[in-house]
Structure 1
Amino acid sequence: MTLSGECFCGEIKYRVEGPLRDARSCHCSRCRKAFSSQAYAYALVEPDHFNWVSGKHLLTSYIGGQGFGLQFCSKCGSTLCGIYNNEIHGITLGCLNEDPEIEIGRHIYVGSKASWEIIPDGAPQYQEGAPQNA
């Protein structure tokens, strides 16, 4: 499977050569702020399956605690991917150009979701992070 993605302004483009896995939506207050939304939709990707096609020089990174961070376009602000210890960890599903043929498999941190959000049925919901075996 080959997928492509890009930021809102189209200056940064990437390609994924391989399947995505473990799609999830996080509803915590930190993700609401990071993504300016009620939650984020994110899937894991193998770092060696991911390549920047253009605009890498426009990337800005925010690294939080424990080595986790986000990379986004410094021009339009689109959050494109997550990183862990300076390696691609996963991608935001909203920036994909094609159908990733994956569905959200779990909703995490629903215990701190916005009071105005209604989470659709269909995927397991966890008050905090999902258990290790989920």
Structure 2
Amino acid sequence: MITGGCFCGDITYEFDGALRDARSCHCSRCRKAFSAQASAYALVDANTFRWLSGEHLLTSYLNADGYGVQFCSQCGSTLCGVFEKTVHGVTLGCVDGDPKVELARHIFVGSKASWETIAQGTPQYEEHVPVTT
């Protein structure tokens, strides 16, 4: 079981299974949404994800396509990503302990902050990962 929660501790969650497809996105939208140089994010199995406490404190921001984030209305921690109101991933900074996952790639490095230096050794992509056929 993997657990996590917000900075103030009032919102907590758990899910069974492993995190997958961990990535760091450096686009300007993620920098603003995560108040950081990039997001650190991994996908979860929505069927095993559940809020343990504080779900009533969640605030959501959704774009016109139904994608967005949920965050704590008290401390501001961005906790998860949602699609059409279903959790599809979590922010790695809010996961408790060692989630046993490593970032597999950096995306949108073409629009990263000018002051950021990305460590070598993990694949980097100017935008999305290229689709192969």
Under TM normalisation by the shorter chain, which class is it?
A: over 0.9
Distance 2:45 2:131 in 1: 19
| Offset of residue 111 of structure 1 | 0.2
**Which runs of structure 2 are paired with 1:1-134 in the superposition (5 Å)?**
2-133=1-132
2: CA distance, partners of 1:65 / 1:29:
18
Superposed structure 1 runs of 4+ greater than 4 Å apart: none
Structure 1 position 132, deviation (Å):
3.1
The whole-number CA distance in structure 2 between the counterparts of 1:62 and 1:30 is 12
TM-score normalised to structure 2 length: 0.96
- Offset from partner CA, 1:87-118 (integer Å, 9 cap, x none): 11100000011211110000000000000000
In 2: Cα distance, 1:88 partner to 1:25 partner? 18
Query: How many residues matched?
Result: 132
1:107 maps to amino acid: H
**Structure 2 residue identity aligned to 1:5:** G
Change (3 A) 1:15 1:120: same
Q: Aligned partners of 1:132 and 1:53: how far apart in 2?
A: 37
Provide Cα deviations, 1:29-72, integer angstroms capped at 9, x if missing partner: 11111111000100000101211000000000000131100000
Distance change (3 Å), C-alpha of 1:77 and 1:15? same
Unaligned runs of 5+ in 1: none
The TM-score normalised by the length of structure 1 is: 0.96
Q: Secondary structure at the match of 1:94?
A: helix
Tell me how far apart the structure 1 counterparts of residues 50 and 86 of structure 2 sit (CA, whole Å).
Answer: 11
Q: RMSD across aligned C-alpha pairs, in angstroms?
A: 0.8
CA distance in 2, matches of 1:45, 1:64: 21
Alignment partners' CA distance in 2, 1:110 and 1:19: 26
